[in-house]
Every structure is written in structure tokens, then in C-alpha cells.
Amino acid sequence: METIELVLEKRLLKGKQVNRLRRQGLVPGVVYGHHFEPVAVQVPARVLQPVLNRAGFTHLVDLRLPEWPKPEKALVREVQRDPITNEVLHVDFFRVSLTERIRAEVPITFVGEFPLRDSANAVLLYGVDSIEVECLPVDLPEAVEVDL
């Protein structure tokens, strides 16, 4: 599994003042988790977007803050986007312990050919597009493949 690293800065502005951060090209966020005090953070949008594209919601990200002695492993838990421009407004990182099991949504990928695809009367409907799995963070699959 590839290592994805993200350097964060501690955020001092809170509430409605975060609009100033967004105008400066920074995205506000929070790092939280089990046995961990929440930390308000900020990160440049141009740095965050490639990380979100690579990590998705199933890859571990090494988060670095100057105050932390070592990087913390985290999952991207939630990304809030502007409905019109699709810009990232806020990001939540869930800090994980590598020895504790977690529950996470994993997307389903359909592979193979639908047996009745040439039939004019057949339509394949997908009832679900993700499932919840429970495992150690390092064992979290990128996707679950279902053979049609």
C-alpha cells in the first residue's frame, strides 16, 4: 500500500471566520478519533485535492503537524463541497489506531459481463454501491469486487 502524506497547519480561526481562510486558498478541517482530542487544522486546497483523489475514503493518510512527534494515521471521513463549484469547503480526518478494528464504507466494483446483456428485456439494477466492513485499518480494501 502506498504512503500518502499530508502536512497540516494548526487552525486558529473558527466559526464564520473560516471564510477568510477559504479566500486565501486554505481549506479548514478537523482531526479527531478514539482517545484523541479534536484538533482544528487547515491545509492549502491545491495540496489537499490530489491527496483526496489518491486516498479516497479507504486509504490511510499520514498526517503531519509541527506539534506532533510523529505522523498520525488517519482516514478521510467526510468532505464537504460547494454544490455549485464543487470546491472543498471542509474536511474531516478520523485518526485511527493500527491495533483497533474500525468500521468503514467500501465501494462495490462490478466486474465481468452481465449474462443477459444482449437480451432486450433485461436490465441490471444495482441495489447497493457500497458495503460496511469491519477490519484493522491496514487491512481495509480499496473496493470489493463482485463478479457478474
Convert the pLDDT of each residue in 79-105 to its tens digit: 999 999 999 999 999 999 989 999 988
pLDDT of residue 123: 75
Q: What is the mean pLDDT of residues 28-52?
A: 92
Q: What are phi and psi of 141, to 5 degrees?
A: -75, 150
pLDDT band at 45 (very low <50, low <70, confident <90, very high): very high
Residues 6+ apart with CB under 8 A from 82: 89
pLDDT of residue 14: 85
Statement: residue 30 has pLDDT above 90: yes
Long-range contacts of 127-131 (CB under 8 A, 24+ apart): 130/105, 130/106, 131/105, 131/106
The answer to whether residues 55 and 96 touch, using CB atoms and an 8 Å cutoff, is: no
Mean pLDDT for the chain?
A: 89
Question: Cell 469486487, residue?
Answer: 145
pLDDT digits (tens, 9 = 90+) for 100-138: 999 988 999 988 887 776 666 777 778 888 999 999 988
Q: Which residue has the higher pLDDT, 112 or 1?
A: 112
**Of 85, 8, 80, 84, which is closest to residue 42 (Cα–Cα)?**
8
CA–CA gap between residue 135 and residue 100 (Å, rounded): 8
